[in-house]
Chains A and B, each alone.
Chain A
Amino acid sequence: MDLECDLLVIGGGMAGFVAGTIASNAGISTVVLRKGQSATAYSSGAIDMIGYLPEVSEPFSSPEEGLTTIAGLYPLHPYSIVGYSEDVEPSRVVAEIVERARGTIAWLKKYLKDTAASLIGSFDYNVHPITVLGTTKPTCLVQETMFSDSLQQNEDNVLLFVGLSGYPDFNPSAASKTYLEDRISVGEPPRKVGRCVLEIKPFGKSFNLSSIEIARHFDHEESIDDFAAQLKIQVEQLGASHVALPPVLGLRNALMNKKKLEEILGVQVFELLGFPPSIPGLRLQTSLENIFKREGGKLLVGHEAVGYNRMEDKVTSVTVKAPRRKIQINAKAFILASGKYIGGGLHGDENGIRETIFDLMTVTRAYHSASGILPSRYTNRLSISPMGQPVYSCGLTVDPKFRPVQEDGMEWASNLFAAGSILTGYDYMSEKSGLGVAATSGYSAAKSAINFIKEVA
């Protein structure tokens, strides 16, 4: 049985949901298709815009500074594309690029307000939240539960890292050492850190605990009170002014729990950035789903795009497969936000790197064909380096309207747009720009698709 809609978005991660929500909000009947959880669900739950220039180890102080630099150096970067559209005057190129990103950030903050992933931060400066390893990273927005505005302000601040007995994903001892070394090397407060391990028993046991159990445990009212009582002793002993917890404060009630702890303890409490798949990542994923549905979008879960029909220069339908059913979805426009290697939008093997649904042209960061690239040969020996991993820069190249182009530089179809990590021209790991590019390109692709649908209609 066929499904009809104006816009079909393939992929339910950051890019897909931003695009889908904007389209639904504009009155476009939109279906978001999702075959599995996205890389967004793996994220730390913080929204990176741009942390570093590739190969440079000093971070940008603000997304604005980063975007301005990127706009000049990399005109084909997914952030830069909007500036090089025909209708943008040459003098406005950088402003256009910066404004689009700024607008996206404002949009995200507005739409995710009052969800389980409500965001805090500004386009005007990067913040440097602490990870569970005790390192810091530059990012633009963090979830409110991860935010502390005063940690690095006062010379006398004392930070307490709190671990949980039987929870292997966070080692407060290692994290506090790493963090303190970092603070000493930059010569900034806090100058004193401490650590402790507390005990909680989600199922009557304090061993073999996972993040999700702890988060669900804290979602139950009252469980945070017991925890606060234990923590209070430690805070007073150390004289802590700030408390860092692994990101497990709850799926639904995390912010309430943070506030409650702060009230009881009289200190600032925040969550660290965690390993994938983190609880804040899950909160972000769920919240994006919810705002999309709230705007009237239809989410089709458990269906994978497996084929398409095309007439002349337009895609007319996409065939999607559930475990035991196949349906055809007819739409006026399509946004491909199917992700990279995790999401399955790109596939790399001994035959090269290819786009999995439409077999679109894939390119490397240098805009050579990636169809013959061996993924294993396209990596650096050092897994985490400022150089990034070239294989992560492969993807689709698009025109200023975010339509994938083919070898001759012309769009592959007039109504197919692409957004998110499937795009080439950037390396989210070294730049720290993953969710920012996803959101901004999703925003832009949606605008183009909406214009296209309205023009056709």
Chain B
Amino acid sequence: MLLISSRRLLELDENEAYEYVKAALNKELIAPYRSHELECINSVESCINCGLCINHCPVVAAVGLDRFSGPRSIAVELSRSPPEFWSAADIVYLCTGCGTCREVCPKNVDIPEVVNLIRARIFEYRPDLVPKGLFMVRELLIEYSLAFEPWEDKEEKIESRNMRLERLALPLVQDKVLDKAEVLFYPGCQAEERAQEVREAAKVILDFFDVDYTLLEEMSCCGLPARLIGDEETAVSLADKLKKKVKSLGVKSVITTCAGCTGNLSYLSHHFDWGVPTVHILEYIVEEIGLELLRTVVKKPSNLSDVHVTVHDPCHLIKHTSRQVMEHALNILRELPGVRVSESEAYDSCCGGGGLVSYHSKEIANAVVEENLEAITKTGAERLVTPCPLCTAQIESNLFKSGSSVEVDDLTVFIAQRLPKKE
């Protein structure tokens, strides 16, 4: 039904016409693409429908094509008319967002972003199809601006932190919030509320090398979980909130210890003109502190024996940021005395922890990590290190459940443990 006459339609200016058409389409449950989505939409145009991505998808490998129809089927969803997106709801939430498909695609079709885009449409028009588990995360995000429920008792949080520090033999570096620091250390939700040792370890490293850093006065999420839920509104508001904080601090760059935050903050910086780059602490160590300096200071602590490790590459670093970041990780490990590294056959295979899959389909997430567990065991290493608290938690809990004796450390912690006490 036309709301206005066709004559009136001709008289509309461009903006009015856009709003008019948008309102009409909205009735049909069709939303126009947003400008930052166009890059992804355009990439789908070059999909040649070959299905090569299926051969490499870790979810397909773990559960089969019948359970998860694979990246190609997701890419071709965009050739359907928009209201039909929700027919993809049974598969689009099973994608762990690892980015393998985009990386192996000869045309680099941005399938992981298509997943987010479809999830956003489903969230907007058919929230009844969104897995219930995701709404729990959303409530936390909205209530606390964090992806994990904050500690009720601050004393208990401190106690937990101290226990972790003691177990890992890490010194306590006091939190600091400065006005005019050069860089912001942004630990991310998981290191803030759960894996506190990662946050502490990063401070140990930054403090040791006299980096002029500050923490946020009040930590808030970068918005990645909201984006993965499809809740564009919450994602944008969290990102804006953080952008304001970063901008008002006037820092030159953001350092984080979380692979997801590195990828997402770099994405935000690219699409929404932050003007402040985000780097993972591994990049900061190699590019700003320098391996030469690291080499001269690291020593084998007397309380640690020689260790044989294997490394897991987090998808958000290698496939969403750059593979070079993990090259840095290996270069850093080479400088650490008493550390022997063996490569796992599945070093760059998704741990299953991404895409919020484990919040509603834990069996899928845990099927994906199987390949990693086997390969890790095969290396004979006694310890796995990885620069991401999410991968750490996912692999650690599954190794434990499988009865493995292999221990898991966040790489930031592993490095901090090998720095001498600061004079």
Binding site for B on A (CB under 8 A): 1, 3, 35-39, 41-42, 202-203, 205, 207-213, 216, 276-277, 279, 282, 300-304, 322-325, 327, 339, 342-344
A276 to B320 Cα, complex, angstroms:
27
CA distance A41 to B103 in the complex (A): 14
In the bound complex, residues from chain B placing their C-beta under 8 Å from that of A277 are: 50-52, 55
A324 — which chain B residues lie within 8 A by C-beta?
Answer: 263, 266-267, 270, 320-322
Interface residue B60 (Cβ < 8 Å from any Cβ of A):
yes
A203 proximity list for chain B (CB < 8 A): 63-64, 66-67
Does B48 lie at the interface of the complex (its beta carbon under 8 Å from any beta carbon of A)? yes
CB-CB under 8 A from B241, the residues of chain A are none
User: Roughly how many angstroms separate A3 CA and B323 CA in the complex, as a whole number?
Assistant: 13
Cα–Cα, bound, A213→B103 (Å): 20
Instruction: Please measure, in the bound complex, the distance between the C-alpha atom of A202 and the C-alpha atom of B106, giving whole angstroms.
Output: 28
How many angstroms between the C-alpha atoms of A210 and B107 in the bound complex? 22
Residues of B within 8 A of A35 (CB): 108
Q: Is B318 an interface residue (CB 8 A)?
A: yes
Q: In this assembly, does B319 line the interface, its C-beta being within 8 Å of a C-beta of chain A?
A: yes
Residue in A41, A208, A216, A304 whose CB lies within 8 Å of B108? A304
Q: Indicate if the CB atoms of A323 and B320 lie closer than 8 Å.
A: yes
* A300 → chain B closest CB, angstroms: 6
Q: Which residues of chain A are near B267, meaning CB under 8 Å? A: 324
Report the minimal beta-carbon distance from A115 to chain B, rounded to whole angstroms: 14
Do A205 and B105 have beta carbons less than 8 Å apart? no
Nearest Cβ on chain A to B183's Cβ, whole angstroms: 17
Instruction: Quote the shortest CB–CB distance from B181 to chain A (angstroms).
Output: 23
Query: Once the chains bind, are A36 and B104 in contact (CB under 8 Å)?
Result: yes
| B54 interfacial contact with A, CB 8 Å | yes
* Least CB separation from A339: chain B residue: B106
B68 to chain A, nearest CB (A): 10
When A213-B64, A277-B52, A302-B322 are in contact, do A37 and B108 touch as well, CB less than 8 Å? Answer: no
User: Of the candidates B63, B99, B105, B320, which one forms a contact with A36 in the assembled complex, judged by CB atoms under 8 Å apart?
Assistant: B105
Complex contact A323–B107 (CB within 8 A): no
Render B61-101 as a binary contact track against A, CB cut-off 8 A, 1 for contact: 10111110010000000000000000000000000000100
Q: How far is the CA of A1 from the CA of B48 in the complex (A)?
A: 34
User: Are A323 and B60 in touch, CB under 8 angstroms?
Assistant: no
* Distance A425 CA – B70 CA, assembled complex (angstroms): 38
B 105-147 to A, binary, CB cutoff 8 A, 1 in contact else 0: 1111000000000000000000000000000000000000000
CB distance from B350 to the nearest CB of A (A): 14
SS class of chain A's interface: helix, strand, loop or mixed? Answer: loop
In the A-B complex, the 4 residue pairs with the smallest Cβ-Cβ separation, listed nearest first, are A322-B322, A203-B64, A325-B322, A324-B266
CA distance A38 to B106 in the complex (A): 6
Cα A277 to Cα B66 in complex, Å, equals 19
Q: Are A213 and B60 in contact, CB atoms less than 8 angstroms apart?
A: yes
Which of A36, A42, A302, A303 counts the most B-chain CB atoms under 10 A from its CB?
Answer: A302
Write the nearest CB–CB distance from B283 to chain A, whole angstroms.
Answer: 8
A423 to B378, CA, bound (A): 43
Chain B contact residues: helix, strand, loop or mixed: helix
B322: A residues at CB distance < 8 A: 302-303, 322-325, 327
Tell whether, in the assembled complex, residue B66 and residue A207 are in contact, meaning their CB atoms are under 8 Å apart.
Answer: yes
CA distance A31 to B50 in the complex (A): 28
Excluding A209-B65, A277-B51, A323-B263, 9 further A-B contacts by CB distance (< 8 Å) are: A37-B56, A210-B51, A212-B61, A213-B60, A304-B108, A322-B322, A324-B320, A325-B322, A344-B107
Q: Please, which residues of chain B bring their CB within 8 A of the CB of A343?
A: 106
From A211, A276, A323, name the one whose CB has the most chain B CB atoms within 10 angstroms: A323
B179 close to chain A: CB less than 8 A:
no
Quick one: given A38-B106, A277-B51, are A303 and B60 in contact (CB under 8 Å)?
Answer: no
Q: State whether A210 touches B65 (Cβ < 8 A).
A: yes
- Tell me the smallest distance from the CB of B284 to a CB of chain A, in Å: 11
For B50, list chain A residues within 8 Å (CB): 42, 276-277
Determine whether B361 belongs to the interface, using a CB cutoff of 8 Å to chain A: no
The answer for the CA separation of A249 and B345 in the assembled complex, in Å, is 20
Question: Knowing A38-B106, A277-B52 touch, does A327 contact B61 (C-beta < 8 A)?
Answer: no
B212 at the A/B interface (Cβ < 8 Å)?
Answer: no
| Nearest residue, chain A, Cβ from B265 | A324
A430 to B61, CA, bound (A): 35
Residue B324 lies at the interface, judged by CB distance under 8 Å to chain A: yes
Q: Is the CB of B60 within 8 A of A300?
A: no
Contact with A along B284-323 (1 / 0, CB 8 A): 0011000000000000000000000000000000111111
Name which residue of chain A comes closest to B371, CB basis.
A216
Cross-chain contact A300 with B323 (CB below 8 angstroms) = yes
Bound form: Cα–Cα A393–B106 in Å: 20
CB distance from A356 to the nearest CB of B (A): 12
A95 to B263, CA, bound (A): 55
CA distance A35 to B103 in the complex (A): 7
How far is A203 from B67 in the complex, measured between Cα atoms in Å?
A: 9
Contact with A208, one of B65, B107, B320, B323 (Cβ below 8 angstroms): B65
Given A203-B67, A212-B61, A277-B52, are A342 and B106 also a contact pair (CB < 8 Å)?
Answer: yes
Q: Is the CB of A36 within 8 A of B103?
A: yes
A322 interface neighbour in B48, B56, B66, B321, Cβ under 8 Å: B321
Instruction: Tell me if B324 and A322 are in contact (CB < 8 A).
Output: yes
